[in-house]
Amino acid sequence: MLFSSIPFLYYFLPIVLVLYFLVPFRFKNLVLLVSSLFFYFYGEPIYVLLMLVSCLSAYVHGLLIDKFRGTKWAKVWMASSVVTSVLLLGFFKYSDFFIANINALFRSDLALLGIALPIGISFYTFQTLSYTIDVYRGDAKVQKSFIRLATYVALFPQLIAGPIVRYTTVEEDLTERKHSIDKFGEGVTRFTLGLGKKVLIANVLYEFCETFRASDDKSVVFYWLYAIAFSLHIYFDFSGYSDMAIGLGKVFGFRFLENFDYPYISKSVAEFWRRWHMSLGTWFRDYVYIPLGGNRVPKGRWLFNTLVVWLLTGFWHGAAWNFIVWGLYFAVFLVLEKFFLKKFFEKIPRVFSHIYVLLAVVISFVIFNAADMTQAISDIGGMFGVLEIPLWSKETAYYLSSYGLLFALSIFGATPLLKNAVLKLKEKKGACVVVDVLEPIVIVALLLVITACLVNGSFNPFLYFRF
């Protein structure tokens, strides 16, 4: 079930809200758990059992780690929890990838399993891992209520596409959380803005990308427009979903950490990754990079640590070589920045470092969105005039004029300019009153426009379902 769908917005969510706020606090987690299981069952009837197995594994391993704390068995049960989670993720997400590569390498003919990817498995697996590891480290108290732990793992606002919520972030909220009209209103506002980013911007940008793929009249400029459109699409699609998740969390009394912080204004690739998919970046930092030694090691070891983290980051996104190349692509830039580029860009105007980051990121998402590496190389070749295509064409001109305003609004929306302007207005007494009056009107109007688009059956894909 998509957040950006009529069944979710006007059937599922209102029913859940009514039930949630009618029952006493001691039953609120149960309402959320049952609702979340139904939400997942609606799209994945069979794989809801897999998610429950993951919850049960985390619950049992947490109890065993706590029971044997201070002994070698605590480490054994922690290792067992990691192996169990990784094996489940590996089997359902990567089996066919490994079989296909074994067949290619050894010229064998092993049959592919053809297993459908369970929605959200990469996200909820990382959440169960963070729970058991934090219990072992002593950073989190063991959760003795299965309902509370399962609510944390299955919580539908962040279940299928993040952000990756650490158990320590919501540990207190699971037992005592406060609700208020102000928090509810803030949550609804944040959710609606995220929904607008998804439906009114991301979906239309992806329509452009699909039009590009279907075109037989490509040009160099058309390739660049496609690359820019997809880079903007994936930002508005994923950050819009994160906004919706954070907003819904606030409605139900939970505090989820931010996942995006205007990454396209970055002045380095390292800064870009501090602003992009922040929950994933900090997860790999705390559970892979630092345990490997982080940056407090000799250069050779640091290089190894960096390559491992970014290989895993790419592979986490998908079971295909282009995702692995995508991850290692960023590793190369991070290494170059650490040893060479950082000092160079400090000596020249900032505009050049911005251009460098944007070029690096746009090209990276061409690799990311390709069906395979052959297509990725072809797309990059088209961008740089390697293919036998013209620089410009009438079709390119037509689509640029058709989507030009959307491109301009998307680029503007990917910066904090509008947000900063609203915050400055709120600092002024007179303007603050106007903003407070207009905000709910704008939100209601935005929701009506979004609803009209959804009722009209507009194109409504969601990229991160594949992860």
Q: Answer yes or no: do 193 and 240 share one domain.
A: yes
Tell me the pLDDT band of 154, cut-offs 50, 70 and 90.
very high
Same domain, 190 and 93: no
Do 222 and 312 sit in the same domain of this protein?
A: yes
Q: Is 140 helix (H, G, I), strand (E, B) or coil?
A: coil
In order, the DSSP letters of 413-438 are: HTSSHHHHHHHHHHHSHHHHHHHHHH
* CB-CB contact of 264 with 358 (8 Å): yes
**Which pTM does this prediction carry?**
0.94
Q: Which residue has the higher pLDDT, 347 or 303?
A: 303
Alpha-carbon distance of 187 to 189, in angstroms, equals 5
Q: Are residues 262 and 404 in the same domain?
A: yes
Query: Following DSSP, what letter does each residue of 269-322 receive, concatenated?
Result: HHHHHHHSSHHHHHHHIIIIIHHHTTTSS-HHHHHHHHHHHHHHHHHHH-SSHH
pLDDT at 162: 75
DSSP calls for 83-121: HHHHHHHHHHHHHHHHHHHHHHHHT--PPP--PPPPTTH
Q: 16 versus 467: which is more confidently predicted?
A: 16
Position 395 in a domain: yes
pLDDT at 461 over 90: no
Statement to judge: residues 230 and 113 lie in one domain: no
Q: Within 10 Å of residue 375's Cβ, how many Cβ atoms?
A: 15
The answer on 404 and 350 residing in a single domain is yes
Residue 62 CB neighbour total at 10 angstroms: 26
The overall average pLDDT reported for the chain is 93
d(CA 247, CA 254): 9
* Residue among 337, 278, 288 at smallest CA distance from 312: 288
Asked which of 177, 210, 237 is the last residue of a domain, the reply is 177
- Residue-wise pLDDT for 239-269, tens only, equals 999 999 999 999 999 999 999 999 999 999 9
265, 342: one domain: yes
Q: Give the confidence band of 289 by pLDDT, cuts at 50, 70, 90.
A: very high
Does 43 share its domain with 61? Answer: yes
Pull the structure tokens for residue 353: 């470092």
Domain shared by 204 and 141, yes or no: no
Residue 118 has pLDDT above 60, yes or no: yes
CB 387 within 8 A of CB 208: no
Q: Is residue 374 part of a domain?
A: yes
Q: What is the mean pLDDT of residues 389-403?
A: 94
Residue 323 lies in a domain: yes
Same-domain check for residues 343 and 430:
yes
The answer on 156 and 256 residing in a single domain is: no
Q: How far apart are the C-alpha atoms of 32 and 318, rounded to whole Å?
A: 29
Binning pLDDT at 50, 70 and 90, where does residue 1 land? confident
Q: Domain for residue 464, yes or no?
A: no
Residue 460 lies in a domain: no
Residues 276 and 339 in one domain: yes
Confidence class for position 460, pLDDT limits 50, 70, 90 = low
Residue at 225 is within a domain? yes
> Token pair of 411, please?
């680029």
**58-114 confidence digits (pLDDT tens):** 999 999 999 999 999 999 999 999 999 999 999 999 999 999 999 999 999 999 999
Instruction: Tell me the pLDDT band of 464, cut-offs 50, 70 and 90.
Output: low
- With 60 as the cut, is the pLDDT of residue 133 above it? yes
Going by C-alpha positions, the residue among 190, 187, 282 that lies closest to residue 240 is 190
Query: Which sequence positions are flagged as catalytic?
Result: 317
What pLDDT does residue 462 have? 57
Q: Is residue 159's pLDDT more than 90? A: no
Whether 392 maps to a domain, the answer reads yes
Identify the domain boundary among 151, 177, 203: 177
Residue 71 · residue 136 · CB < 8 Å: no
The per-type count for the chain, helices as H runs and strands as E runs, is 22, 0
**Poorest-pLDDT segment among 92-106, 137-151, 445-459:** 445-459
Tokens 């496609």 belong to 226
Residue 8 contacts residue 157 (beta carbons within 8 Å): no
Domain count along the chain: 2
Closest CA to 268 of 368, 347, 342: 342
Report yes or no on 461 lying in a domain: no
pLDDT at 458: 61
Its domain, for residue 443, covers: 183-455
Supply the pLDDT for residue 145.
Answer: 96
End-to-end Cα distance, the chain: 15
Q: How many C-beta neighbours within 10 Å does residue 419 have?
A: 11
Q: Which of 133, 158, 177 is the last residue of a domain?
A: 177
Residue 259 Cα to chain centre, angstroms = 8
